[in-house]
Amino acid sequence: MIHKKAGYALALSTAVLAAACGGGGGGSNSNDNPSGGGTTPTPQSLTVAGPLDTVQTAVTSTVFVPLVSATAGTPLQPVLLCANGIATRNLLDVADAFANGLASPSTLLTTAPQQAQLAAAALVGNLSGLLTALNGTQSCLGGSTAPTAGIPTTNPLAGTPLAALGDQLLPVLLSASQQLAPGAGGVSSPLSAVQLAGIVEQLSNAFSTGLAALPPDVLTAPILGGSLVTVDDALSQLASLTSLASSGGTPQALAASLQTLAESVIGNLLTQVVPVTNLQSLAGVGAPTDLLATLQGAVATLTAGLGTSPTTPLPANPLSGAGFDGLTGVINQLVTSLPTALTGTAGLTPLAAALGQVQTLLGSLLGIVGGGTGGGGSGSGCLLGFLGLCRST
């Protein structure tokens, strides 16, 4: 297992320190962290055990470990590590805590927030790591690339097209870290449901406000834009869940909110971070199949049972069901092509790499010369024809 790094400059809680270095620790040992270190860091294990564990592990091992390896040494690797830490781990761990609480609704408001506290601290740390990952100076997770500085006191994205995100998010991260800091005895006070909901809502509002102020092409940039959209929507859905819990929502309403959160997070991870949405758009209306809709439907089917039985674990191999087979083809092509496509990106920002090299790569996979932004390929040279993403004429 990759060990968490110490050395934070700020006096944050042990939970925040550990979280910012990995969003994991404790909990179950999982197969999503196979390397134990080395030059390519890999995402770490779960914090809160619950019904979403199997899909967390499957998404990490099937999607993020290969993509992180394929982007080693490029500006996109730290962004992918942060996206995994935030969405796949921290946010779904908090959701797991509330799913566990629904097994005993009478104690949900006391047990779930406390169980979620380490994951909430991890969320704060990894959101901080995302800001530095976006300027290419630091990563969130794994081995020697774990952050060794605390939450920045100045905006690491100042002077870049992404500056608004840091302007909005940084003050909220500092405030949240103070709420999670240990008291005089060195132990963090347990969070109440209202406190947890307040922290998540502030994080969500700040992230959404910052994202809304970014240039439009940032949000459509392959991998990078999908990562930001995924985190934004996941925070919004988590804010809805925690707010509902803190205000006395019924178990039925909480189960429905949990299902919506899981469907949104997993769906975005598989179609936005994995650039299926970008590929479908490039393929255009002439593409024989709609892989995006197929994957969205498969995710909806996978998570539907959470709305009625939120404490029942998802299948042991959740991405093996009908509709997910095309995902493997996309991942395989990306893993094969990304190392060459991103050669020479040293010194670039993640945004420049996404808008340049990755956009060109996606076009080339569809046989579009120069990686253009519309029209689909003619089928000549299209490497994704077996998925039905290439025009026949």
Domain ranges of the chain: 14-387
Which of the listed ranges 42-46, 234-238, 286-290, 380-384 does the model predict with the highest average pLDDT? Answer: 234-238
Contacts with 37 (C-beta within 8 Å, 6 or more apart), sequence order: 2, 142, 143, 144
Report CA 169 to chain centroid distance, whole Å.
17
Q: Is 76 helix (H, G, I), strand (E, B) or coil?
A: helix
> What pLDDT, on the 0 to 100 scale, is given for residue 380?
57
The band of 139, judged by pLDDT with boundaries at 50, 70 and 90, is: low
The answer to whether residues 161 and 168 touch, using CB atoms and an 8 Å cutoff, is no
Helices 325-341 and 276-283, axial angle in degrees (round to 10): 90
More confident residue, 95 or 140: 95
The answer to whether residues 303 and 319 touch, using CB atoms and an 8 Å cutoff, is no
- In order, the DSSP letters of 310-335 are TTSPPPSSGGGSTT-HHHHHHHHHHH
Residue written as tokens 């805590």?
97
The answer to whether residue 1 scores a pLDDT higher than 50 is no
Q: Any long-range contacts for 28-35 (C-beta under 8 Å, 24+ apart)?
A: 28/53, 29/1, 30/56, 30/57, 30/60, 30/61, 31/57, 31/61, 32/56, 32/57, 32/60, 32/61, 32/64, 32/65, 33/1, 33/2, 34/65, 35/2, 35/143
Q: What is the mean pLDDT of residues 127-150?
A: 66
> What pLDDT, on the 0 to 100 scale, is given for residue 310?
95
Task: Give this prediction's pTM.
Answer: 0.85
